[in-house]
Every structure is written in C-alpha cells, then in structure tokens.
Amino acid sequence: MTMSTSSTDPARATEPKRERGRLRVAAIMTAGVEVFTEKGYDAATMTEIAARSGTAIGSLYRFFPTKEALADALLLQYAQQVKNGLTELKQQVPGMTLERVADAFVDMMLLLRSQRSFAIALMDARGGSADERKRFRKVMRGGVADILCEAIPALPAAKAKVMSVVLIHMLKAVVGIADEESSVRAALLAEMRQLVRMYLVSAAPQSGE
Amino acid sequence: MTMSTSSTDPARATEPKRERGRLRVAAIMTAGVEVFTEKGYDAATMTEIAARSGTAIGSLYRFFPTKEALADALLLQYAQQVKNGLTELKQQVPGMTLERVADAFVDMMLLLRSQRSFAIALMDARGGSADERKRFRKVMRGGVADILCEAIPALPAAKAKVMSVVLIHMLKAVVGIADEESSVRAALLAEMRQLVRMYLVSAAPQSGE
Amino acid sequence: MTMSTSSTDPARATEPKRERGRLRVAAIMTAGVEVFTEKGYDAATMTEIAARSGTAIGSLYRFFPTKEALADALLLQYAQQVKNGLTELKQQVPGMTLERVADAFVDMMLLLRSQRSFAIALMDARGGSADERKRFRKVMRGGVADILCEAIPALPAAKAKVMSVVLIHMLKAVVGIADEESSVRAALLAEMRQLVRMYLVSAAPQSGE
Amino acid sequence: MTMSTSSTDPARATEPKRERGRLRVAAIMTAGVEVFTEKGYDAATMTEIAARSGTAIGSLYRFFPTKEALADALLLQYAQQVKNGLTELKQQVPGMTLERVADAFVDMMLLLRSQRSFAIALMDARGGSADERKRFRKVMRGGVADILCEAIPALPAAKAKVMSVVLIHMLKAVVGIADEESSVRAALLAEMRQLVRMYLVSAAPQSGE
DNA sequence: TATGAATGAGGGTTCATTCAT
DNA sequence: CATGAATGAACCCTCATTCAT
C-alpha cells in the first residue's frame, strides 16, 4: 500500500531541510511529549502544543500534517531512543553478570521514564496509528530478545522471544511503579529489581533445574 | 415491543417496569465496557454507547447523569467482581500450595479479562473520578495482600503490601499478554504463570535466602 | 383560599373527583409561580414544577398540555387577581381623595408583589403566548383607566387611557423598587408614592395649572 | 467571498486582517443585540446569533468564549453609550432649564432605544454575569445622580441618589412606551415627558413645598 | 514560507413531551 | 386516569484542520 521510496513516509511530514526547521521540529516534539504526557492523547490539543513550542499552528501543521502524524513521530523518536539504549546495552552485556544485565534493563527504563510515561499514554490510548504502534513493539521485542540471547548464550531463539515479551511487560511495570507515592517507591523498585533479576537468572541453564 | 411475561406471570405485578430498567442498565454497562475498551475514555462517546446498547441518549443520561458517572459505575462493578474473586480465592487458600495460589491469581485475571482491559483503559487514561480510581486500587491491593498473608503465614505485613503492588502489576501484564496474537499466546501465558509462581515461592521463608 | 367542606360532604359522588383535580391544578399553579419567578420562563422546567407540586409529570401535562399553556394560565390567574383588585379599588374610590387613590394603587402592587415579579418575568421574557400577554395588558389598562375616570370625573376617556399606560409603567417601577436592597427601599418607596400621588393630582382639573 | 477593497486601497497594508476582525465583532454584537432583544437571554441561541451575523459558530466563540461573555460585552457596550450620553448631558446642563434637562433624559433614552430594550432584557432576565449587571446599575445611577446635582444645586446627595433610581425606572418606562403601537405612541410619549419634567421640577427648592 | 483567523463536524448534556403500563 | 421511563431535537462549546494573506 505504501509508496516505494523512503522519503515519502506517511507518518512523517516534510524532512527538516534547514537548521531552523530542525529546531522547530525539535521544539514541537518536546512540547508534544509534554502535552501528550500531561493530558493523554485525546485531551491534548494541537493548539497547546503549538503554543508551548512557540510555533504558529499553521507551521506545526506544515511539519506534522495530522495529530496522529505527530503522535507517530513521537512514538518513532521514542522507539529510536529505546533502540539506541538496547544497542548500547547489548554491547556491554559480554562482561556482565545476569543480575547486572537485569539491573541495566531496569535502569534504562527509569532513564527513559518521562518519555516512557508518554509512550504508554500513546500506546494504551490508541494515539498514533496502529501500524506505528505495532512497529514499535516489534523493534522493542527484537532488541530485548537479542540482548537476552547475548546474555544467555544457550537460550533458544523461541524462548528468547517469549521471554522478551514477558520482560517488557515487567519493565512497563517498573515505570508504573516509579510513578507511585514516594513513600513506598524505593521498596517497590527494589522488589521489582529483584524480580527481574530472578527472572533472568531462572532462564540460565545452570540455575533452571 | 417486548411485553411478554409480565401479565402472564402471576408472581409479579409491578416488576416488569423495574426489570426493564435493570436490563437497560445492564445493556448500557456492557456497551460501556466495550466502547471504553475499544476507544479509551476520552475517545469513547456517550452517543456510541447509547447506540450500541440500543438506548436513546436521553435514557442513558437518566441512568448515568455523566460520562464520568458511567465510567465510575463501570469501575465500581469491576472492583466488585475483583473483590468477590479475591474473597473467594482467600477462602480456598488454606488447602493450596503456593504454586496453585499463583495459578489461581492468573486464572482469576483471565476470567475477568474482558472487563480488565477496560479497567486498565480507564485507570490509566484518567477515566472516571480520581477518587474512584484510588478506592479501586486500595481495595485491590488490600485484597491481594490479605491473600498473600494467608498463603505465606510468615510474611510481614509490610512485605505483603509491597508484594501486592508488584503482583498486581504482573497480573496486569497477564491481561496484556492474553490480548496477544493467538500464535504465541499459549507460550506467553505459560511463561507468565511460571514467573508468578516463582515470585510467590521466592517469598516463602524456606526458599527465600 | 381553600374551600373545605366539599370533600367531607357525602351527598355528591362526582364532586370529589373534580375536587381533587382542582386541588391538583392549584398546587401546580402555585409551584409554577414559584419556579417561574425563581428561574425565569426558559430556565424553569416542567419537571421541577411537577416535583414541587407533588404531581407526576404526566398528570401535569394532562392539565396543562404545554409549558406555554401553563404560563398562560398563570398569567390569566394573575390577570384575574389584578382585575379583582381593580374592581374592589374602584368601588372604594368614591370616598377617597386622589392621594389616597394613588396610595391604593401602590399598595395593591405591593400586595401582589410576589406574583407580580413572576408576571413581569413572564411578560418580559416572552413566556406564554403573545395573545395572552396582549389580553392581560388590555384588561389591566381598562381597569386602571376606569378607576381614573371614577376618581377624576372630569377626565376625558382618551386622556384616561393614556394615563393608565403611564401609571401602569410606574406601578411596574414600584415592584422593581420593592426588590431593591432594604437599606434604601423605604426611601425609594416613599419617593415613588409621592410621585404617583403627584401624577394623579396633576391630572385633576383644579390642580393642573 | 468579499475581498474587494483591501488590495486596491494603497493606504493600508496589514490593516485588513484586523479590520475584518473588527467588522466581524461589530456584526456579532449587532446580531447579539437583536437576538437577545427578540428572544431574551435564555431563549437566544449562539447558533442563531452566529447565523444572523454571517459568522461561523467557531468564529463567534473565538471572540466571545461564552454566551455570558457576549452578553456581558453587550451590556458593557451599552453602559459605555449611556455613560457617554450622561457625560455629554452633564456638560450641557448649566445652561438648561429643568424642563429641558428632563426632556434631554427622555431624548437620550429614545436615542438608545433599540439597545435599551435589549439591555432591559438582559438585566431582568439574569443575562450576563451578576457582577456586570451590578456594575452597570452603579454607573447608571451615579451618572444620573451627578446630573441631578448639577441641575438642582441645592439637592442633597442622598436625595439625588434616591431620585436617580426613581428616574431611571421612569426612563425604563419611556423605552417600554416607545415600543407601543404607533397609534398612541405620540400621546404616551408626550405624557411621559410631562411626568418626567414634573418630577424634576418638583424637586427644585422653589417649587417643592 | 509563515501565520493565525476561520470553519464546522461532533461531543456532552438538558428537557419538553409522549405513551406503554 | 395516573404514572414516570423513554425519546430525541437542540443547546453550548471545543478543536483538528484549512486557506487567505
């Protein structure tokens, strides 16, 4: 269905050719993340995103021809960050114990937390196109599965895939827990950390009975 | 159009009027769960809920004077079901192994799945009043913590509380996983089941370090 | 106001039924005056009028098939009261000075004040049919003009008609003034009284220069 | 559809945009006065005001974010006109007889008649915010009292205040009378004029007892 | 190209009125 | 007849999107 060449991606609008445009787009995306996070996809308004980014509404629409397009772009950006995080993590895996790998997953989530809240908002609230959401999931799962394989060499690919899904759900829980009242947050995070470690360790050949 | 049993049934005189109301409310709530689940709180429209339940918009507003009121009622209904489920589970705990308790948690979630998806949508997307959401969380956590204490007598109350939060997040994941493509669903569910079992067992004195 | 004995009288059978209807209608009209006065024609709701009069909404509609019909009936009732007041006043005029007649007009207005506020609300806010409003005006003007002729025998009919319109507007002002803050109300009412007296006296042959 | 003078007129460059806005607002306010006058505050609909002024409903709401806001603006506009009229009148008072002052009041009212009818509608029918109504009353009373003091130097301030309220009510009557059938209107107005004159004269030291 | 005024479909909600019971 | 649940047109208002400047 999609047209051939990559430059006319329906999700993204005109490529920012000039420096000014790039800055503008960056400002818009920042504002977009903010507003979507605060209000959720539906309650967020293009007008507010424009205002917060100091952009005229017309200009915003030049770069992102649709609210959905903006959401998609934001999701894509987040996906990229996750991808980068996963790639980086993957390279560090060789010298790490499984426990450290588990912690690294959790830390990565916490690092991306602010963005992640918004991503959840968009994913769960049907913001952005279903396609984009699917693509995002795929990238995420693939990356995590890769790391798992790296960390647990004996892990069959199929098992890695299954584990990645479960693991990602647990990492989602990490974000949710990080939003809890601060009085119990520390204890909850520690518990989650422990659980994630346990999960990974349990999958390693020598420990699984 | 449906004036069947009322006059023929000698047992009840004025019942039909109220019975119809009950049916109407039930239809509305069912449709509400559907639409809220599909669209999320904001994107769901009262008009569609009315149409899907075969109710005139005015009638819908007679029963639920506000969109928020409807969401609250739905949340409350779900809370009730969860409460019942937890109460029942609690009574069965005494004779169960920890593994079976874990499975019971998962099974309960799967039983409530359709409703649960919607509950998640409402909880995460500021549907309904904040109060109602808070209350729901409290009930859920309390109930789960109770069961944990019952299942693991040596468990300190504080630890039970922490665990309940984590456990609930995992059960949330169960629902998410149950919504996956059927090709992998079975494997994923098995994995989640295993993880939940492991989590509970790890908290029992003899197996925890 | 209530006609007591009829319901206790065992002699007639058809009467009670009608009696009940009369009471119902009276209750509705009382509630109608209240609600229309408090909320104005548009903001008043048939449902509230029904509720306040302890009537089922369906019954209310049996007696007054339309909101407008109810308003008309209320207006008519008020017109009747005014008519009665004017008739009574007319009979007392012979032995009164012009100043006393003027005061009598003002007093009558103050007596009907509660109802009058509502009548103004209906008249000015287009409540009721235009016809009914017109009829009401005619009755009022005719009655006032009659009294003027009685009080000032030499007054030409045409002049009496003109004066009646002006006088009625002044009496309207009396009601408006009676709704002012109590701190100045007394002084304002005294001033208005004085003005009305002056107006009437000025029309009498010997005093008009 | 009407893009006539803007490009041909060499005097202004960016003016048209703002000019158009001004015109739009003026059109809306005119339509607002019309509709509020015809229907009263509650029965008037924003949709009709928009239609009558040739404005899209959305545009109307850009200028007046609320029905109440529009009513307030209209009231304010009228208050401004009254204020100007009163200021002007005050400056002319020194060289005028009391009778001429009275006539001037009446003439001013007749000049503002069309707007005045609507103002009455809004004031009496809880249109606009209570604050705005109160403010309007204050301005009006203060201005009238000022003029009275100017016209009747010996008048005590307290008496002027009382008189202003009464006088304003009479001027309200002037408007009401101006809306009568034309067949009697002239005579009625003459009578009202006479009454207002008499009222003012009666307050002057030499003629008041 | 950038701008923001203009557009109008659509959303939540109310209430006069009807009609099955 | 009385009742009150049911109906749906109409209201106020919002906001994604367009287009003249």
Q: Of C143, C151, C161, which Cα lies nearest the Cα of C103? A: C151
Nucleotide nearest to C58 (CA to C1'): F3
CB contacts of C163 in chain D (<8 Å) are 191
pLDDT at D189 over 90: yes
Q: Do C71 and C128 meet the contact criterion of CB atoms below 8 Å apart?
A: yes
CB contacts of A192 in chain B (<8 Å) are 166, 169
pLDDT at A49: 97
- Phi, psi of B48, deg, nearest 5: -70, -40
pLDDT at B11: 43
pLDDT at A59 over 80: yes
At B146, list the tokens.
């109770």
Q: Quick one: average pLDDT of B189-198?
A: 95
pLDDT at D14: 45
Share of chain D above pLDDT 90, in %: 58
Q: Quick one: average pLDDT of C40-66?
A: 95
pLDDT at A11 over 50: no
Nucleotide nearest to A43 (CA to C1'): F15
Q: Quick one: average pLDDT of D87-114?
A: 92
pLDDT at C127: 67
Give the confidence band of D141 by pLDDT, cuts at 50, 70, 90.
Answer: very high
* Closest residue, chain C, to D43 (C-alpha): C42
Task: Let me know how many helices (H) and strands (E) chain C has, helices first.
Answer: 9, 0
CA/C1' separation D151–E16 (Å)? 54
Give the confidence band of D4 by pLDDT, cuts at 50, 70, 90.
Answer: very low
Interchain contact, A41 vs B42, CB within 8 Å: yes
Place of tokens 């994107």: B43
Of the listed ranges B14-23, B108-117, C168-177, the one predicted with least confidence: B14-23
Of the listed ranges B18-27, B119-128, B172-181, C84-93, the one predicted with least confidence: B119-128
Give the confidence band of C125 by pLDDT, cuts at 50, 70, 90.
Answer: low
Mean pLDDT, rounded, of chain A: 85
Q: Write out which nucleotides of chain F lie closer than 7 A to a protein Cβ.
A: 1-21
Q: Quick one: average pLDDT of D82-109?
A: 93
First to last CA, chain D: 68
Give the confidence band of B179 by pLDDT, cuts at 50, 70, 90.
Answer: confident
At B34, list the tokens.
């559907």
Q: Of C168, C166, C184, which Cα lies nearest the Cα of C120? A: C168
Measure CB to CB from residue D42 to each of C42, C166, C198 and give the nearest one: C42
What Cα–Cα distance (Å) separates residue D148 from each residue in B47, B191, D199? 60, 92, 11
Burial of A48 (0-12, 13-18, 19+ CB in 10 A): middle
Q: Quick one: average pLDDT of C6-17?
A: 46
CA C199 to CA C170: how far, in whole Å? 10
Q: What angle do CA C183, C184, C188 make, to 5 degrees?
A: 155
CA/C1' separation A206–E4 (Å)? 66
Q: Quick one: average pLDDT of D156-163?
A: 94
pLDDT at D18: 63
The 10s digit of each residue's pLDDT in A125-134 is 666 678 888 8
Q: What angle do CA B163, B133, B85 make, to 5 degrees?
A: 55
Task: Transcribe C13-78 into DSSP letters.
Answer: SHHHHHHHHHHHHHHHHHHHHHHHHHH-TTT--HHHHHHHTT--HHHHHHH-SSHHHHHHHHHHHH
C–B contact: 3+ Cβ pairs < 8 A: no
**What architecture is domain A15-65?**
Orthogonal Bundle (1.10)
CB contacts of C198 in chain D (<8 Å) are 198-199, 202
Q: Residue A68 CB closer than 7 angstroms to strand F? A: yes
pLDDT at C120: 74
Instruction: For nucleotide E14, give the residue with the nearest CA to its C1'.
Output: B58
pLDDT at B180 over 90: no
Interchain contact, D40 vs C124, CB within 8 Å: yes
Instruction: For nucleotide F9, give the residue with the nearest CA to its C1'.
Output: B58
Using DSSP's 3-state secondary structure scheme, residue D70 falls into helix
Q: Of D23, D131, D28, D124, which Cα lies nearest the Cα of D76? A: D131
Shortest Cα–Cα distance, A35 to chain B (Å) = 14
CATH fourth-level superfamily of A67-208: Tetracycline Repressor, domain 2 (1.10.357.10)
CB contacts of B166 in chain A (<8 Å) are 173, 177, 188, 191-192, 195
pLDDT at A15 over 80: no
CA A24 to CA A28: how far, in whole Å? 6
Shortest Cα–Cα distance, A18 to chain B (Å) = 36
Share of chain A above pLDDT 90, in %: 56
pLDDT at D61: 96
Which chains sit next to C, with 3 or more Cβ pairs under 8 A? D
The 10s digit of each residue's pLDDT in B134-163 is 888 898 999 999 999 999 999 999 999 999
pLDDT at C132: 81
The 10s digit of each residue's pLDDT in A158-188 is 999 999 999 999 998 998 888 888 888 999 9
Within D 49-88, residues with CB less than 7 Å from strand F = 57-58, 61, 65-68
CA B11 to CA A138: how far, in whole Å? 60
Interchain contact, B176 vs A169, CB within 8 Å: yes
Give the confidence band of C1 by pLDDT, cuts at 50, 70, 90.
Answer: very low
pLDDT at B21: 72
Measure CB to CB from residue D173 to each of C120, C124, C170 and give the nearest one: C170
CA A130 to CA A79: how far, in whole Å? 14
Share of chain C above pLDDT 90, in %: 55
Give the confidence band of C65 by pLDDT, cuts at 50, 70, 90.
Answer: very high
The 10s digit of each residue's pLDDT in B91-133 is 999 989 999 999 999 999 998 887 777 777 777 666 667 888 8
CA/C1' separation D52–E4 (Å)? 24
Q: Of A107, A105, A202, A109, which Cα lies nearest the Cα of A146? A: A105
Shortest Cα–Cα distance, D55 to chain C (Å) = 25
Shortest Cα–Cα distance, C47 to chain D (Å) = 18
Please count the residue pairs, one from chain C and one from chain D, whose beta carbons lie less than 8 angstroms apart.
90
pLDDT at C31 over 60: yes
Q: Quick one: average pLDDT of C61-71?
A: 95
pLDDT at A20 over 80: no
Shortest Cα–Cα distance, D162 to chain C (Å) = 6
Domain boundaries, chain A: 15-65, 67-208
Q: Of A176, A168, A175, A177, which Cα lies nearest the Cα of A196? A: A168
At C195, list the tokens.
């003005």
Interchain contact, C177 vs D169, CB within 8 Å: yes
The 10s digit of each residue's pLDDT in B156-171 is 999 999 999 999 999 9
CB contacts of A191 in chain B (<8 Å) are 162-163, 166
Q: Of B104, B41, B105, B42, which Cα lies nearest the Cα of B74? A: B41
Give the confidence band of C11 by pLDDT, cuts at 50, 70, 90.
Answer: very low
Q: Of A83, A114, A89, which Cα lies nearest the Cα of A104? A: A89
Q: Write out which nucleotides of chain E lie closer than 7 A to a protein Cβ.
A: 1-21
Mean pLDDT, rounded, of chain D: 85
* Closest residue, chain B, to A194 (C-alpha): B199
Q: Residue C57 CB closer than 7 angstroms to strand F? A: yes
CB contacts of A158 in chain B (<8 Å) are 187
First to last CA, chain A: 49
Measure CB to CB from residue C188 to each of D43, D165, D191 and give the nearest one: D165
Give the confidence band of D7 by pLDDT, cuts at 50, 70, 90.
Answer: very low
Give residue A159's Cα distance to chain centre. 22
Give the confidence band of D205 by pLDDT, cuts at 50, 70, 90.
Answer: confident
pLDDT at B209: 46
